[in-house]
Structure 1
Amino acid sequence: MIFLYGLTVLAGIANAIQPGQNATLSKSLGLPITAGLITLLISSSLLLAGGLALGKLEVPTGQQLSAVPWWAWFGGFFSVLLILAQLYASPSIGAASFLGIIVTVGVVCSIGLDHFGWVGFPVHPASIWRMAGAVLMIAGVALVALF
């Protein structure tokens, strides 16, 4: 379990660094969509290499493909939205505001996802404490963005 928390911490660090990297790639090339495609190609190549190296890469069967809920296929769409936001919004609003908004909106949205058990998450009720935490996060992001 500690490995999963460590992986999550590393993902948080990456989440703070990646918008600047992607925006710089975009600015240096002068081609934002090409920069986004390069980012996704590098990600895909690393997943391919890692999957092959670990022996975890397999072609799904027809039965496995048909068992996937319709909404689960749209994860790549949301990855593109995140990369586009990194390319266009993060350079203008700054790293702290960008990441603060991304994380806070994610937490607020996640409280709803947990409460209703949507998109595969187990039900975790939206208690007053969870909602108070979300309100505090919103206030915190407002302070970061304003000052």
Structure 2
Amino acid sequence: MWYLYGVVLLAGIANAIQPGQNSTLARGLSQPLTAGLVVGIGAGLTVLIAGLATRRLAWPSMSEAAQVPWWAWLGGVLGGGVVITQVLIARQVGAGAFLGLLVTAGVVTSILLDHYGWVGFEAHPATLWRIFGGVLMIIGVVFVAAF
């Protein structure tokens, strides 16, 4: 189980590197949103290859698809919004402020999602310590962005 934390750490490192890559690609192309499309195609191909290699890829049946809540189908739209933000804004605000804001917003939002058990998460109470951790992240990102 602990190895999963290592995989998440690697994803976090990739999450810090990706905005720079994507904004550089956008800057080098005549239309910056083309970079977002290239990123989306790359992401799709990566998932396709991983799914085929692990044999964990199959189209859902109509009954399976009908059982999934409507909002669960919108994750790709949210991911596309993140990529658009990377290609249009990350370079202007800088890596530290961009990723700090992105991660801090995610952590603060996740405290709410966990507390109420929204969007498929198990409920985990927003204890004083979890809220304090979120506040510390907000303070930290202010320092990163301001200095």
- Please indicate, yes or no, whether the TM-score normalized by the shorter chain is above 0.5: yes
Give structure 1 stretches of 5+ with no counterpart: none
The answer to whether structure 1 residue 143 and structure 2 residue 143 are counterparts is yes
For 1:111, give the aligned amino acid.
Answer: I
Moved over 6 A (4+): none
- 1:48: how far off? 0.8
Match of 2:6 in 1: 6
Q: Distance in 2 between matches of 1:40 and 1:72?
A: 18
Q: Distance in 2 between matches of 1:46 and 1:74?
A: 19
- 1:62: how far off? 1.1
Q: Secondary structure at the match of 1:84?
A: helix
Match of 1:36 in 2: 36
The number of residue pairs the alignment matches comes to 147
- The alignment's TM-score, normalised by the length of structure 1, stands at 0.97
Q: Distance in 2 between matches of 1:36 and 1:135?
A: 32
Q: Secondary structure at the match of 2:97?
A: helix
- 1:4: how far off? 1.4
Q: Distance in 2 between matches of 1:33 and 1:83?
A: 9
- 1:30: how far off? 2.6
Measured on the aligned residues, the alpha-carbon RMSD in Å equals 0.8
Identity of aligned residues (%): 51
Give structure 2 stretches of 5+ with no counterpart: none
Q: Distance in 2 between matches of 1:128 and 1:50?
A: 40
Listed as ranges, the matches of 1:1-147 within 5 Å are 1-147=1-147
Q: Distance in 2 between matches of 1:57 and 1:14?
A: 23
